[in-house]
């Protein structure tokens, strides 16, 4: 109707390019107690509001897999140490047969840098372990929380022999109740060339799908059961058949998820 229209305010010159004002200093108590007396309390205040050092160890999977091809164990864990922006991330995952050999394992040491509220970019090294070749890799990847609360993680790996591989994985926590959660997950791996000594063919090499139902006895401790299916793809599958290995491995799983 026009009577509620506010008059237009002319734009302030350079408002869009002006530097932000300095952060306010919490110093009113200095006038009463003195700056030296308040220094320790102020340092504690700043540390608890964005300047603190944090640590967490998350064992996302520690499980037994029972399937037609044999019973095995699998783990997937990550530890983080540092601040809100920069931190050290240590990742480890692997699997082996009960009563048999360790099939494969890896440890990654990564510098993790926040590029936004929900995502980190990561760079570092990865060392493989197992009965076969155990190459060292340079790692460049990311990890974070995508829209609609999907946990996603991806990385490129360059081995000390010049082989380039990639991995992308994602999962989603669907709460049935406050303690009962269904977690579907998917992981796909690819190679940019043949890596014959490791039985990997160029192209998409492996896919794993799974679903787990966990019950959080406490937020930090949750047993779970579920199903996992792993399938080799393309040339990797042909190399596995030629070596007499299973191409497809469905399995029922049972394990625990915990963090501290």
Number of domains composing the chain:
1
CA 253 to chain centre: 21
Which tens digit of pLDDT belongs to each residue from 196-211? 888 999 999 999 999 9
Q: Is residue 195 part of a domain?
A: yes
Q: Is residue 10 part of a domain?
A: no
Q: Which of 204, 199, 212, 207 is nearest to 241 (CA)?
A: 199
Would you state the pLDDT for residue 221?
A: 98
Residue 231 sits in a domain of what CATH number? 2.40.160.40
Which tens digit of pLDDT belongs to each residue from 1-32? 445 555 555 555 555 677 778 767 667 888 88
pTM of the predicted protein model: 0.82
Q: Is residue 27 part of a domain?
A: no
Q: Which of 242, 257, 247, 230 is nearest to 95 (CA)?
A: 230
Q: Is residue 212 part of a domain?
A: yes
């Amino acid at each position: 109707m026009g009577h509620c229209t506010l008059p237009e305010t002319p734009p302030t010159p350079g408002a869009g390019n002006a530097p932000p004002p300095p952060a306010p200093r919490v110093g009113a108590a200095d006038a009463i107690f003195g700056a030296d007396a308040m220094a320790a309390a102020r340092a504690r205040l700043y540390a608890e509001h964005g300047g603190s050092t944090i640590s967490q160890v998350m064992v996302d999977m520690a499980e037994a897999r029972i399937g037609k091809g044999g019973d095995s164990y699998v783990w997937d864990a990550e530890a983080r140490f540092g601040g809100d922006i920069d931190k050290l991330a240590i990742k480890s995952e692997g699997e082996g047969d009960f009563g048999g050999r360790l099939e494969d394992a890896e440890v990654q040491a990564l510098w993790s840098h926040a590029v936004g509220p929900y995502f980190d970019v990561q760079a570092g090294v990865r060392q493989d372990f197992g009965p076969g070749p155990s190459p060292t890799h340079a790692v460049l990847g990311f990890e974070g929380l995508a829209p609609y609360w999907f946990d996603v993680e991806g990385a490129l790996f360059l081995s000390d022999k010049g082989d380039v591989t990639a991995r992308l994985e994602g999962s989603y926590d669907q709460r049935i109740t406050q303690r009962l959660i269904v977690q579907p997950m998917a992981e796909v791996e690819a190679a940019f060339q043949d890596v014959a000594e490791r039985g990997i063919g160029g192209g998409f090499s492996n896919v794993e799908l799974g679903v787990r139902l966990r019950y959080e006895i406490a937020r930090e401790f949750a047993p779970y059961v579920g199903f996992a299916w792993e399938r080799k793809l393309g040339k990797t599958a042909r190399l596995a058949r030629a070596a007499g290995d299973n191409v497809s491995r469905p399995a029922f799983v049972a394990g625990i998820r915990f963090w501290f």
